[in-house]
Amino acid sequence: MTIRSLRAAISFLTVLPVANADGSSGERLGRAYFPAIGALIGLAAACAVAFLCVLTGAIHLDGLADTADGLLGGGEPSRRLEVMRDPRLGTFGVTAIVVVLLLDVAALSSMSPARGLAALVVGGALSRLATLSVIAFIPYVRSSGLGVAAWDARHRGLDLVLGSATALVASVIDWRRALIALPFVGLTAIAVAGLARRRLGGATGDVCGATAELCQLAALLVFAVR
């Protein structure tokens, strides 16, 4: 009875095909196991987010934290740039990382595995397209750094076309939700870039990292809506 109830709970709360062979719902849909199944779903979502952090070396999260410290704090543009280059994290930076990671996990936890995978693929593609757009349209404000190479004006139009085509191909995996997510991703990128332009005079590599993280979150939240 315990195994039948557990299988019923998994089948009811997820899309995993583990229902009882006779089609029965198990005892009370295995409701006693609901918290355990919920915990496992949350753990899977946390592992997915952790894998993204490891895969990218957490470089985008680092950019998000530095951007939050620089743009949300006070001071002149030169002072803000100094704050963003400081390896130590401030209150705004820590808060930004915690909030974004919690929302990422919460969004993924609310989805089925198939939708979660689609959300990560589409979100990853659209958020990096947004980052490419920031590089293409917002000036770089530092005189040195990796951004100097990224902001090279040569072949900018071609890079945008190729990047857009790649994002379009990736979005085919769930094109309906991708189409809904696109304007939210665009608005998020515009908001980040606009704030950076107003407070720094342009963008930096950290701003690109923040754009990637926040635009990916915007896409995940759209996919989380049932």
pLDDT one-digit tens code per residue, 140-170: 988 776 667 777 778 888 989 999 999 999 9
CA dist., res. 51 & res. 34, Å (int): 26
Percentage with pLDDT > 70 across the chain: 84
Q: Residue 23: pLDDT above 60?
A: no
CA dist., res. 113 & res. 109, Å (int): 9
Q: Residue 1: pLDDT above 80?
A: no
Mean pLDDT for 197-226 is 93
Mean of all residue pLDDT scores within the chain: 86
Residue 36 pLDDT = 77
What CA dihedral angle connects 195, 210, 169 and 165, to 10 degrees? Answer: 50
pTM of this prediction?
0.84
Residue 149 pLDDT = 73
CA dist., res. 41 & res. 107, Å (int): 11
Residue 187 pLDDT = 97
Residue 39 pLDDT = 79
pLDDT one-digit tens code per residue, 52-99: 889 888 899 999 999 999 999 888 888 999 999 888 889 999 999 999
Q: Residue 31: pLDDT above 90?
A: no
What does the domain layout of the chain look like in residue ranges? Answer: 1-57, 58-224
What is the phi/psi pair of residue 57, to 5°?
Answer: 70, 20
Q: What is the DSSP string of 53-102?
A: HHHHTTHHHHHHHHHHHHHHS-S-HHHHHHHHH-SS--HHHHHHHHHHHH
Do residues 41 and 14 touch, judged by C-beta distance below 8 A? yes
CA dist., res. 92 & res. 106, Å (int): 21
